Every structure is written in C-alpha cells, then in structure tokens.
Chains A and B, each alone.
Chain A
C-alpha cells in the first residue's frame, strides 16, 4: 500500500510538471497571439504568420492533452474508430516528417517490404511511430533505421538507433508515463511521454511495444501489431 501511494505521488508530480511546462507554453503563446490579432493589418506577411502561429499553438495544446491522457492510461481518451489497414512505409514517412529539429537533408533509413500494412485506427501508427522516432533521435544517435517484417499473424515494426541503448533496468519503466531515464534527463527538455504513448496506442489494438537492443548496442523499440489482410 505504501509503495502504491509513493507511485501515485510520483505520477502526480510528473503530471504536474508536464502540464506546467509543456502545456503552459502553447497556451500562453495562444493568449499572447490572440491579443495581437488585428495589430498587424497593414502587414500581410506578419498577419499570415500570426494566424498560422495561432493555429499551430492551438493544435499543439490539443494534441498534448490527447497524448497526456492516452499515455496516462485514461481509457476514455482512446480513439473510438475501428482499425483500418495502414501502410507501414506511408506512416513511417509521415511520422518522420513531423519530427522537429532534424538536421537538414537527413532521411530515415527504411527496410520494409512493399505494401506491408498493419491494422490500427486511422493515424494511430503515424502517431505511435512519431513518438518512437522522436525518442530515437533525441536520446539515441543517428542513423535511425526502421525495419518491418511479418511474424505469423503480426508485423514487427522496429526502430533502431546507434546510441548507447536503453539500460535493461530502465526498459520496463520506459513505457511508464512521464518516466525519463538518466540519459534523457541530461539530454535536455522532454516530458517522458513518448514510449508510454506508443505503448498505449498499440495495446489498444491488441499489439505490444517491446524494448530491446539493436546490433551494435543501440536501442531497438519494436511495435508489434496485427497484420492487415492482403487486399482482394
């Protein structure tokens, strides 16, 4: 009982930190931008920039709230749409394009059979892969390789990086919401939500997230998802 209370206290503190820092930024930006609407009328370029920035801040706040609830295991926040066949390469490319602060011209290395598809709700694979790829880029080292293969009725989509890997002792904790390993804490700002979010999204469709070691010692984070039936 004592341990459970300590765990809950830790989770509460981590959630407060995430809401306080990560959510505060888009919300205060949104408020500041909203107060500037109308002040740039004589400058079409600044006006367009202002409107785009308002949209970005609102989208960011919305997706942070969604991600926060899903990764914290709030079942009412999980998608209600039915799983659909989702092309792995398309989702991987879309997820890679979402990442911020990538060195210019850097591509994701893909090793995926043509036409390979999994069953997951619309947008779910992109969202889960974006979280895993972001983790690999932030805390691992380049190159990052995404490889996928069929295993029985499932598809294993593995993201491998060339960093120091995730210590075996941290692997179970790494899918806990708001956990940040030692390397993550020292690498810079972050919220410790990525792998927890990916794990919650794939688990919703009967899949799983498996953390292991890539050849050479880097991290390997694999999403195991149901194989989509071949199109007729």
Chain B
C-alpha cells in the first residue's frame, strides 16, 4: 500500500517512514503542512495518507475535503496527539479514521488497512 505522511515535526515523519516501511507500507511522499499534503498527494497519487491535524499553514481539517476532492477513495487516517470531543465528532462526521499518536505502529497500520 502506497502512503503519504503529513506531520509538521520532521522527526515524527522520519519515525513514521521507518515504522510504516517495516510494517510493509511504501511511503511515497512526506508533507509538513495541510497545504503541502494536497500537492504531494496530487503528484504521488497514494492509496492512503497519515494526516496530523494540527499543522501550521493549513491544518489537517482544511486538507481533508481537498484530499477527498482529489481522490474520493483515498484512505485518510487522522493521526493526532490529543483528540477532544470536537475532533472525535468532526472525524466521525467526515468519516475519517482517527488514531491517537503512540509509539506503537499497529493501531495506525490497522487503521490504514481498514480505512
């Protein structure tokens, strides 16, 4: 499965790249903002995207409808350190899988495969 990783923290992107590769995914692109992830997905056409929600220059929230516009079948997984009720409700409304950041890759991998 080809995925794009979007997070404004370079070390989080590095970690996710290594973890996802070890779990059998192909990481085809990285982005540091909600603005950038749309362009990267447009050029790489991934199957899935791991999307941090709180990023400068265009949040993950803003990117979701644009990503869906690019590819309605794109598997989007929101990957966030904390999720209050608003975030949980919004992700449910948008039908986007939500995974809390953890050092363990399995919940994220499972969400990508089943999103």
Contact = CB atoms under 8 A, between A and B. Distances in A.
Contacts, number: 62
B102 interface: yes
B101 A24 contact: yes
Given A17-B82, A20-B81, A53 B103 contact: no
Interface in A60-110: 101
A203 interface: no
A55 to B, nearest CB: 10
Contact of B18 (A20, A36, A57, A189): A36
Interface string A22-35: 10110011111111
Interface string A157-176: 00000000000000000000
Interface in A27-61: 28-36, 39-40, 46, 49-50, 53, 56-57
Nearest to A39: B22
A216 interface: no
B9 interface: yes
A28 to B, nearest CB: 5
Given A24-B101, A28-B81, A28-B101, A53 B11 contact: yes
Interface residues of A, number: 26
B103 A25 contact: no
Given A25-B9, A189-B54, A50 B82 contact: no
Interface string A109-146: 00000000000000000000000000000000000000
A188 interface: yes
A12 interface: no
